[in-house]
């Protein structure tokens, strides 16, 4: 009999919730994490009294009452509403595209005027079958919005021309004929008071966690420690890249502490032109309505991924999806390994989706006798 019932590799949301739920069911778990902290990309660190989102802005939002109740039972959430603005050549525009945006671009004041303007701008594209992202966006919103707020921002994000990106990346572009600046449509939205790390501390109470521990440096040892494995790392690495390597986009974060109370007046400002190499500036104190004397900002730079960088976004094109599907078949054939999360499922997930996925998979596991 092995020492642990479950070895959990990675301590983001999928790993931490799995450990929490399995421990409640009577299983003995060991959690290992190669970084020097818990919470995965949701990790927040207190600096100057400000909870800094170390791996980019994280806003929890969901329509699912059960998921909202679940996370609120762990920690209290504030009423933060995501209302980003976009900066383009020194001018500010509201996001998502709403009546404020249309007034800022065209001076229109009524929903009918805005709808007529979009119809006029998209008229010449209505009969095209979009072959790339640029054509898709032009068909949906027309020239002005595309050129100001989509084209160069998207090119920075993905590192290629918009004409070289597949059309399916933009399935729809939400256009709102109201003055509502709330980016999300979900019923529930907020940020944990005191930062995201608090959620993970609660989930992992009483559970053995080993940080700065790389599964692959001692794989045979770890596999022999537990009856079952929950794996949240890159799926291609788990299978020794047998079907090829998957590609990702990475990010670089540049943090700066400023001796002022308020730098930009908003938690997130997107920079939508090539004038700046970064895609956005995050001012962390505004996630929690901070009034500290100093402020901390983060410039976010997308970059091409290599094995020395952190993988953030899967590149779900045809080539990569074919490779992933080969690994998925291999994964399904393994009886004692559960693959979960963004890297193990090669899929972009919002936080609430990961929580839902972990809870659904853990519900299938019966309580220990």
Q: Is 230 contained in some domain?
A: yes
Sheet (strand 268-271) strand order: 91-94, 85-88, 268-271, 280-283, 295-304, 248-258, 313-314
At residue 47, the 3 state secondary structure works out as strand
Please say whether the dihedral angle defined by the alpha carbons of residues 336, 220, 310 and 264, taken in this order, is positive or negative.
positive
> Is 108 in the same domain as 162?
yes
Last residue of a domain, one of 110, 140, 169: 169
What pLDDT is attached to residue 173?
85
Confidence category of residue 22, pLDDT binned at 50, 70, 90 = very high
For range 313-322, the mean pLDDT: 92
What pLDDT is attached to residue 174?
81
pLDDT tens-digit series, residues 181-205: 999 999 999 999 999 999 999 999 9
Q: Which of 126-140, 162-176, 271-285 has the lowest mean pLDDT?
A: 162-176
> Is 200 in the same domain as 345?
yes
- Check if the beta carbon of residue 118 is closer than 8 Å to that of residue 175: yes
> Is 209 in the same domain as 66?
yes
What pLDDT is attached to residue 323?
98
What pLDDT is attached to residue 169?
86
> Is 232 in the same domain as 320?
yes
* Catalytic residue annotation: 172, 176, 249, 280, 300, 348, 350
- Check if the beta carbon of residue 350 is closer than 8 Å to that of residue 61: yes
> Is 13 in the same domain as 131?
no
For range 335-349, the mean pLDDT: 97
At residue 10, the 3 state secondary structure works out as coil
Instruction: Give the whole-number percent of the chain exceeding pLDDT 90.
Output: 96
Q: Is 357 contained in some domain?
A: yes
Q: What is the CATH number of the domain that holds 353?
A: 3.40.50.720
pLDDT tens-digit series, residues 210-266: 999 999 999 999 999 999 999 999 999 999 999 999 999 999 999 999 999 999 999
What pLDDT is attached to residue 317?
86
- Check if the beta carbon of residue 349 is closer than 8 Å to that of residue 342: yes
For range 25-31, the mean pLDDT: 98
SS3 sequence, 165-222?
CCHHHCCCCCECCCCCCCCCCCCEEECECCCCHHHHHHHCCCCEEECCCCHHHHHHHH
Task: State yes or no: pLDDT of 171 exceeds 90.
Answer: no
Q: Is 88 contained in some domain?
A: no
What pLDDT is attached to residue 148?
98
For range 73-92, the mean pLDDT: 98
What pLDDT is attached to residue 120?
98
As a whole number, the mean pLDDT across the chain is 97
Both structure tokens of 350? 């919002």
> Is 197 in the same domain as 233?
yes
The pTM of this model reads 0.96
> Is 332 in the same domain as 241?
yes
> Is 70 in the same domain as 100?
no
Q: Is 293 contained in some domain?
A: no
For range 167-180, the mean pLDDT: 89
Task: State yes or no: pLDDT of 29 exceeds 90.
Answer: yes
Last residue of a domain, one of 123, 138, 169: 169
Instruction: Count other C-beta atoms under 10 Å from residue 304's C-beta.
Output: 12
Q: Is 113 contained in some domain?
A: yes
> Is 225 in the same domain as 320?
yes
Q: Which of 17-31, 78-92, 165-179 has the lowest mean pLDDT?
A: 165-179
Last residue of a domain, one of 114, 137, 169: 169
What pLDDT is attached to residue 236?
98
> Is 242 in the same domain as 321?
yes
- Check if the beta carbon of residue 210 is closer than 8 Å to that of residue 33: yes
> Is 51 in the same domain as 103?
no
Confidence category of residue 172, pLDDT binned at 50, 70, 90 = confident
What pLDDT is attached to residue 316?
86
Q: Is 326 contained in some domain?
A: yes
Q: Is 177 contained in some domain?
A: no
In the chain, the number of structural domains is 2
Instruction: Give the whole-number percent of the chain exceeding pLDDT 70.
Output: 100
Q: Is 162 contained in some domain?
A: yes
pLDDT tens-digit series, residues 145-155: 999 999 999 99
Q: Which of 55-59, 171-175, 302-306, 348-352 has the lowest mean pLDDT?
A: 171-175
> Is 203 in the same domain as 327?
yes
Q: Could you tell me the residue range of the domain that residue 121 belongs to?
A: 96-169
For range 18-33, the mean pLDDT: 98
């Amino acid at each position: 009999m092995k020492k642990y019932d479950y070895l959990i590799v990675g301590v983001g949301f999928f790993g931490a919730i799995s450990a929490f739920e399995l421990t409640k069911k009577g299983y003995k778990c060991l959690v290992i994490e190669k970084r020097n902290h818990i919470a995965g990309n949701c990790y927040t660190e207190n600096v100057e009294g400000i909870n800094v989102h170390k791996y980019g802005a994280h806003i929890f939002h969901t329509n699912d009452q059960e998921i909202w109740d679940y996370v609120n039972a762990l920690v209290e959430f504030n009423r933060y509403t995501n209302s980003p603005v976009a900066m383009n050549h020194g001018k500010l525009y509201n996001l998502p595209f709403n009546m404020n945006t249309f007034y800022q671009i065209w001076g229109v004041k009524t929903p009918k005027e805005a709808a007529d303007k979009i119809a006029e701008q998209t008229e010449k594209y209505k009969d095209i079958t979009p072959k790339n992202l640029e054509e898709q966006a032009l068909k949906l919103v027309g020239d002005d919005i595309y050129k100001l707020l989509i084209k160069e921002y998207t090119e920075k994000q993905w590192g290629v021309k918009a004409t070289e990106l597949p059309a399916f990346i933009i399935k729809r572009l939400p256009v709102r004929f109201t003055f509502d600046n709330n980016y999300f449509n979900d019923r529930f939205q907020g940020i944990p008071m005191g930062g995201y790390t608090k959620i993970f501390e609660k989930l992992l109470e009483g559970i053995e966690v080993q940080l700065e521990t790389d599964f692959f440096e001692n794989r045979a040892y770890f596999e022999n420690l537990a009856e079952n494995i929950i794996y949240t790392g890159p799926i291609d690495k788990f299978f020794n890249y047998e079907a090829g390597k998957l590609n990702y986009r990475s990010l670089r974060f540049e943090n700066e502490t400023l001796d002022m109370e308020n730098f930009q007046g908003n938690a997130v400002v997107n920079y939508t032109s090539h004038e700046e190499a970064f895609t956005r500036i995050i001012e962390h104190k505004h996630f929690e309505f901070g009034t500290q004397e100093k402020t901390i900002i983060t410039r976010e730079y997308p970059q091409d991924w290599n094995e020395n960088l952190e993988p953030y976004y899967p590149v779900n094109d045809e080539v990569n999806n074919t490779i992933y599907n080969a690994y998925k078949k291999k994964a399904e054939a393994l009886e004692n390994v559960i693959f979960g999360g963004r890297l193990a499922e090669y899929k972009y997930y919002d936080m609430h989706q990961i929580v839902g996925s972990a809870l659904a998979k853990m519900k299938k596991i019966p309580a220990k006798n």
